[in-house]
Amino acid sequence: MIPAPTDRAWKEARNHIQTAVAHLVIDAYGSRAVTWQPVFPGAATRQQVADPLPGLWTIKYLDALIKSEARRYARRARETGHPWARIGTMLRLPDGADHTTGQAAFVYLADNVFGEQSFTWCCSDRHCGQLIHDYGPGADHPDEAERGHTSGCARHAEDLAAWARAENDPDQIDGQGR
């Protein structure tokens, strides 16, 4: 089960975002780019509101920062052994007709370098510790999905063993979606 924040927490988060937007707009455009407006029509309480175009610029910037934070959390999740399917579930990404939840998570978080999507993280196996180039859960073989593991990596050995079992008996796929 994925918990849901309370309405109060969502409202506080929204207020923090609005405050951050106003501060960033003031920093970039000056104090004339924000106005004080009632929090709702007729309210005595007022809040700083950014002018629309500088506000949009700032939101685009914050969106990039948030995506960067999502990648950082996903990197930590991959490093601690969480499969793409679990990451996709936490992001509430649905299965689709042509993709799994894990594949949707990978597409959402991976970088596209020279036309190829990949995601890098450091293997936490004590015999490996290498920088891994992850090509997502859709690859046919673990060696194609994750490049960079050492030959003594237990984590990669487990993935290879699960793949071999699935090749011998397709009904025995472990569902990890790594």
Count of domains observed in the chain: 2
Q: Tell me how far apart the alpha carbons of residues 159 and 173 are, in angstroms, rounded to a whole number.
A: 11
Find the radius of gyration of the CA atoms of the chain: 22
Give the domain extent around 153: 82-178
Q: Tell whether pTM > 0.95.
A: no
Name the domain boundary from 33, 59, 80: 80
Q: For residue range 34-67, what is the model confidence (pLDDT) as tens digits?
A: 999 998 899 999 988 999 999 999 999 999 999 9
Other beta carbons less than 10 A from residue 109's beta carbon: 23
Domain end marker among 39, 62, 80: 80
Residues 90, 176, single domain; the answer is yes
Please determine, for residue 81, whether its predicted confidence score (pLDDT) is greater than 70. Answer: yes
Angle, in degrees to the nearest 10, between helices 7-29 and 52-79: 120
Residue 107 has a CB neighbour count (10 Å cut-off) of 16
pLDDT at 82 over 80: yes
Determine the residue type at 142: P
pLDDT at 5: 79
- Classify 94 in phi/psi space as left (phi over 0), alpha (psi -120 to 50) or beta: beta
Q: Which residue has the higher pLDDT, 57 or 174?
A: 57
Same domain, 99 and 71: no
For residue 142, give Cα distances in angstroms to 115, 136, 146, 172.
21, 10, 6, 16
Indicate the helix (H) or strand (E) that contains 78: helix 52-79
Q: Over pLDDT 90: what percentage of the chain?
A: 72
State the chain's mean pLDDT as an integer. 90
Q: Output the pLDDT for position 2.
A: 75
Residues 18 and 67 grouped into a single domain: yes
Among 80, 97, 119, residue at a domain's last position: 80
Position 151 confidence tier, pLDDT thresholds 50, 70, 90: very high
In SS3 terms, 79-108 reads as: HCCCCHHHHHHHCCCCCCCCCCHHHHHHHH
Of residues 87 and 95, the one with the higher pLDDT is: 87
Task: Assess whether 90 and 54 both reside in one domain.
Answer: no
pLDDT value for 1: 64
pLDDT at 172 over 80: no
Same domain, 72 and 6: yes
Interval 120-134 mean pLDDT: 96
What length does the chain have?
178
Looking at the structure, do residues 100 and 58 belong to the same domain, yes or no? no
Compute the distance between CA of residue 110 and CA of residue 168 in angstroms, rounded to an integer: 31
Going by pLDDT thresholds of 50, 70 and 90, the confidence category of residue 157 is very high
pLDDT tops 80 at residue 175: no
Single-letter amino acid, residue 166 = A
